[in-house]
Each structure stands twice: as structure tokens, then as C-alpha cells.
Amino acid sequence: MRRLRTQVGIIGAGPAGLVLANLLGRAGVACRVVERRSREHVEHRPRAGLLEHRVVAALRREGLADRLLADGVPHGWCAFRCLGRDIRVDYAARAGGRRHWVYPQQLLVRDLIAALAGHGPPPMFSQTVRAVEDVTTGRPRLVCDGIEIECEYVVGCDGFRGAARAALPATRGSVFGHRYPYDWLTVLAEVDRPAEGVVYAVHPDGFAGMMPRTSRLSRFYLQCAPGDTVRDWPARRIREQLRARLSPLPEIAGFPDVHVLRMRSSVTEPMRHGRLLLAGDAAHLLTPSGAKGMNLAIADAIALASALLRRYRDGDTGALDAYGARRLPHIWRAQEFSDRLLRLLHLPPDKAGDQGFALRLRLAALERLGEPGPHAVAFAHEYVGSGAGETEGTREAEGAREAVSTEGGGWP
């Protein structure tokens, strides 16, 4: 058995784990990132693609956004289609000019892996953590095939079914979850022109969405019945339903990636057990509605890095002890926004009801988002992730650097 030692063991080489490793490594804290997938897999895995204003501001401050800012595309509007109407919401104009950046997650992952060079060992790819042990002692361990890594702290960024969550005792804390009465077919499609903005469609046949990714790729979503599989959705049916629910569309050449997303959300409380801390999907699952998942994971990593640095630089464990309690209000606000948007975009599941009435109710709500007023302004700030009005206040949302060093758990 090969034995290694480090200060912080990080499970998972997704955005949360890699941002955390970069921030700690640059400050001189030794880290080991362990990832069960290959480097090729994580660098080409298509997932999220929309980064919030405050997340981009934080990555820029830390020198982790050079390629994002060079190659990403800023977006400041979205559109809703309902009953033949296109309602454009210029959320950047209502949120003080703050915008999203379209930059596929796999490209950000590549950037973060490259940025680790010179700050410590590269991630240990294709290495599965079989168990996380001794987390209530001062020396927790990551047990892998043929390798044990002794740590001072372990951070689980390995998803809902990862080894970090498996290490939590059954009597410790609670998992609050919700299963929605529908699923989404998620389709990465080759297109003849880039999507100009995010488009959401409320339709009697079910929700549909179009999200920009690159000049030749767009992400599409189609509401489907719970339990559907990819086999239930051949290419012909996908094209027919996209045209029915979402037209007009770019020309679609092919579907390089199609899968069914089980629509569920969850939050684990607390986010710490002994020397084990949770971040990203290991702590909370969100639906893609509102594009909050990756952004929330990166925010966890930034907050946790600040708390760990205070522990190592000053011996102050207060921010680390308060990490979960400070993050949870932000997590629940993101969950509420995602859930609220889902209820707006999906008709009631009871098909015996008057769907015409439900459609017109939604059209009225969407029209409020497209018109000037406090309702539209509030939506704009929540949607773009400006941070305005949250408990940490505007200064943190704007990204003042001093907030990173003094506020251990909120938005940097």
C-alpha cells in the first residue's frame, strides 16, 4: 500500500474541487485532488455552460478567468415563448449591466487543470476513493486502490453518490429532497449558427429550452414523462418536438449527446462532519432551471478556500466551523429560485384541468418579467447572480477582494 500525506484531500476534479485546489495551492496549502474519471473524460464532459456575474468576477480576481474572458460570450437577455408570443427579458439592463458568460463547463475544467501546474501535484485521475475514514480524528484518510492519503481535512466534491457522502453516519444530519413529476431530455445538438440567447418555451406538450454553448453547439431541453429513457426519444421524435414547442430554431445537423435527466433537488444539512466538508453536488443537487448548479458549487469552493486559509494562516477555525451555516441560506435561495422558475415553465401535471387557463396565467406572469418594474428587477438580479439584496450585501456581490479574506462563508 502506497501512503501519501497532504493538508487537504479533495475528492472530485469538477469545477468546485479544481477551484478549491487552485486557491489553496496558490496560497501554499498542500492539496491532493483525486478523481475517479480519466483526464480526457472530465475535460470533454459536456454539462453546464452559463456562469453568473459574481462567479466570473471572483474567478477574474483570482487569475482563473483569462481564457473565459477571452473566449466566452457575455449574454444579457433571455426570451420566453408562450401562446405564440416572444417575451424578451433584458435582465442585464435591469441588473446594472451585469451579465452571464457563456463558457462550457468542460472548457473551464481544462483551464483549471492547467492552472494547477506549478502549485502542487496534478489531480490523480482514474483513481477511485473507496472510503473516507477517520474523519472525526485529526488525520482523516482517503482509501483508494493501492493508495492511502492521510489528510488534515477532506473536502467532498464528488457528487451525491460519492465516497464523501457515504462517509456520513446515518444518524448525522438530514437530506431534504424533492422529486419533480417530470424529467427532462437533455440534447447537445450541432447547429448551423449559435443561439443568440437562452430561450424558454411554455407549451401544451411540455416545456422546451434552448441554451447557447459554442458557435456550433447548443443545449436543448425537452420535458418528458418520468421514467422515459433515451430509447423512447429517437432523433426523429426529438426534431419533431423541438419544432413543435420551440420554433423558430437553428438548423440541427446531429445530436452528439442525448440523455434523460431525472429532475430532483436536494440539500444536505449540515455540510460538515468532523474533518470532512461537503461542497457542490455532494452538498446540494439543483435542477438546470436557472443555471445555478455549477455557480453554487464554485461559490462553495471560494467560501471554503477562504475559511481554510484563515485556519492555516492564522489558526482561526471560526470561519471553518461556520462554513455550512453561512452557505446554507445561499443554497436554499438558489433552490427556491430554481423551483419557482420550474413552476412558471411547466403546466400543472393534471391534464384534466383547463390547460388554456394555466397557459394564460403563465403568459401574464411572463409579461411582468418583460416590463419595467420591481418584479422584473428582482428577477433580473436573481437570474444573473448579481448578489444585490443578499445578506452579505452589495459590496460582496460586487466582489471586493477584502470580503474574501474576512467573510468565511458568503459570496466573495
pLDDT by residue (tens digit) across 95-148?
999 999 999 999 999 999 999 997 889 999 999 999 999 999 999 999 999 999
Q: Cell 464528488 identifies what position?
A: 158
Provide the grid cell at 282. 455532494
**C-alpha cell, 180:** 419533480
Question: How far is Cα 351 from Cα 338, in angstroms, rounded to an integer?
Answer: 23
Which pLDDT score is estimated for 404?
Answer: 27
- Within 13 Å and on the Cβ side, how many CA atoms surround 138? 0
pLDDT class of 199 with cuts at 50, 70, 90: very high
CA dihedral 359, 363, 365, 368 (to 10 degrees): 180
For residue 358 the three cell numbers come to: 394555466
CA distance 235 to 247: 17
- With vertex at residue 342, the alpha carbon angle to CA 340 and CA 348, rounded to the nearest 5 degrees, is 105
Mean pLDDT over residues 302-329, rounded? Answer: 96
Q: Model confidence at 345, in pLDDT bands (50, 70, 90)?
A: very high
- pLDDT higher than 50, residue 264: yes
Residue count (the chain) = 412
Residue 403: the pLDDT is 27
Query: Where are the CATH 3.50.50.60 domain residues in the chain?
Result: 2-79+97-179+265-341+381-406
CATH classification (class only), 183-262: alpha beta
- The radius of gyration of the chain from alpha carbons, rounded to an integer in Å, stands at 21
Band of pLDDT at residue 353, cut at 50, 70 and 90: low
The yes/no answer on whether domain 2-79+97-179+265-341+381-406 falls in CATH 3.50.50.60 is: yes
Instruction: Give the pLDDT score at 120.
Output: 83
Residue 125, SS3 per DSSP: coil
CA distance 61 to 49: 20
For 401, the 3-state DSSP assignment is helix
Query: How far is residue 390's CA from residue 373's CA, in Å, rounded to a whole number?
Result: 19
Residue 395: its pLDDT value, please?
32
Specify the range with the lowest mean pLDDT, choosing from 12-21, 42-51, 176-185, 305-314: 42-51
**3-class secondary-structure state, position 365:** helix
Q: How far is CA 361 from CA 83, 87, 367, in A?
A: 11, 14, 10
pTM for this predicted structure: 0.91
Q: Which of the residues are catalytic?
A: 75, 200, 288, 292, 383
- Contact (Cβ atoms closer than 8 angstroms) between residue 156 and residue 279: yes
Mean pLDDT value across the chain: 91
Domain with CATH 3.30.9.10 in the chain: 183-262
Give residue-wise pLDDT tens across range 57-75. Answer: 999 999 999 999 999 999 9
Q: How confident is the model at residue 399 (pLDDT cuts 50, 70, 90)?
A: very low
Which residues have CB under 8 Å from 155's CB, separation 6+? 8, 9, 10, 11, 17, 20, 164, 276, 277, 278, 279, 304
User: What's the one-letter identity of residue 406?
Assistant: T
Residue 412 is predicted with a pLDDT of: 41
What are the pLDDT digits (tens) for 40-55?
A: 999 999 888 999 999 9
DSSP H helices, 45-97, are: 53-61, 66-71, 91-94
b vs e for 115-144, b when ≥16 Cβ sit within 10 Å of the residue's Cβ? bbeebbeebbbebebeebebbeeeebbbbb
